[in-house]
Amino acid sequence: MRIRHRLSAAAALGALLAHAAAQAQSGAVPVLVYHRFGATAADSMTIRTSHFEAQLRYLALHGYTVIPLRRLVEHLAGGGDPLPPRAVVITVDDGHQSVWSELRPLVLRYRVPVTLFIYPSAISNAAYALTWQQVRALRASGWFDIESHTFWHPDFRQERRRLAPDAYRKLLRQQLLGSRLRLQQMVGGDVTLLAWPYGIVDQDLMRAAADAGYRAAFTLAAHPATPADAPLALPRYLIGDACTEAAYARLLEQASHPRAPDAPPR
């Protein structure tokens, strides 16, 4: 019995070590998504600027490294240099004016890369949105990567129900390829990353994104990105003001060190 117990314990330890090795090799990385910033949290998609700055300080004090999203995408595809321990990615959706007034000063102060997913229809048109001049200045700073959030942020589930099949396919092309081309025309660079509006994604949407030239796309799901995830449906954690410091710390720790599988039965 004692020998069997030792063998069982050794097998359990071996399973845990194998999981740890696989985890280190796969490099599971939390991708965070924010929307708006302000002195107060007027809605669920706004985080207080002071709260966000506290999160940046937490990352720095606890050994996390904010890496560009493109570096993670390259890593997940099996290329690039190894990622640093405790890597994390910051993304921001929609392109609201608070990106310029609230987020930009903190990004420049803390020197962290951010990927900004925007929908071109709002830029220089909607009062709440950035201008093209501001978007170009953000990219020129070297800390912001500008990527696509479709052309005007549709709800694809509603559009599929509303439109005939041919009209829906035409809409997909406009929203996916049209956004890429407009951003490349107005800002420059190669736009190959996409954030799905409302996190809605399915097999047809992924095929359409691939046809439109996207290399990776992101939805909403509370787990870290790994090579096991579909490249055109990679997960992101939605972060708002309700995410307390304790919840933020727990999220990062669990994302960086996912739970090992249960030991095999004795």
Q: What is the CATH number of the domain that holds 212?
A: 3.20.20.370
Strands 193-195 and 46-48: what pairing? unpaired
Q: What's the farthest any 2 CA atoms get from each other in the chain?
A: 75
- The answer to whether residue 218 is domain-embedded is yes
- The answer to whether residue 261 is domain-embedded is no
Q: In the prediction, which pLDDT does 256 show?
A: 77
Q: In the prediction, which pLDDT does 20 show?
A: 36
- The answer to whether residue 69 is domain-embedded is yes
Nearest CA among 250, 176, 242, 247 for reference residue 210: 176
How far is the C-alpha of 82 from the C-alpha of 104, rounded, in Å? 28
Q: Report CA dihedral (216, 229, 62, 95) to the nearest 10 degrees.
A: 30
> Structure pTM?
0.87
Size (the chain), residues: 266
Tens digit of each residue's pLDDT (9 = 90 or more) over 106-136: 999 999 999 999 999 999 999 999 999 999 9
DSSP states of 119-157: -TTTTTTSTTBPPHHHHHHHHHTTSEEEEES-SS---HH
Q: In the prediction, which pLDDT does 98 show?
A: 98
- The answer to whether residue 4 is domain-embedded is no
The helix (H) or strand (E) run that includes residue 48 is strand 46-48
Crossing angle of helices 165-187/203-211, nearest 10°?
40
How far is the C-alpha of 255 from the C-alpha of 86, rounded, in Å? 9
- The answer to whether residue 146 is domain-embedded is yes
Q: Count the domains in the chain.
A: 1
- The answer to whether residue 15 is domain-embedded is no
- The answer to whether residue 16 is domain-embedded is no
Q: How far is CA 154 from the centre of its chain?
A: 19
> The domain containing residue 164 runs over which residues?
27-256
Helix (H, G, I), strand (E, B) or coil at 81: coil
Which stretches of the chain score pLDDT less than 70?
1-26, 258-266
Q: In the prediction, which pLDDT does 238 show?
A: 97
- The answer to whether residue 266 is domain-embedded is no
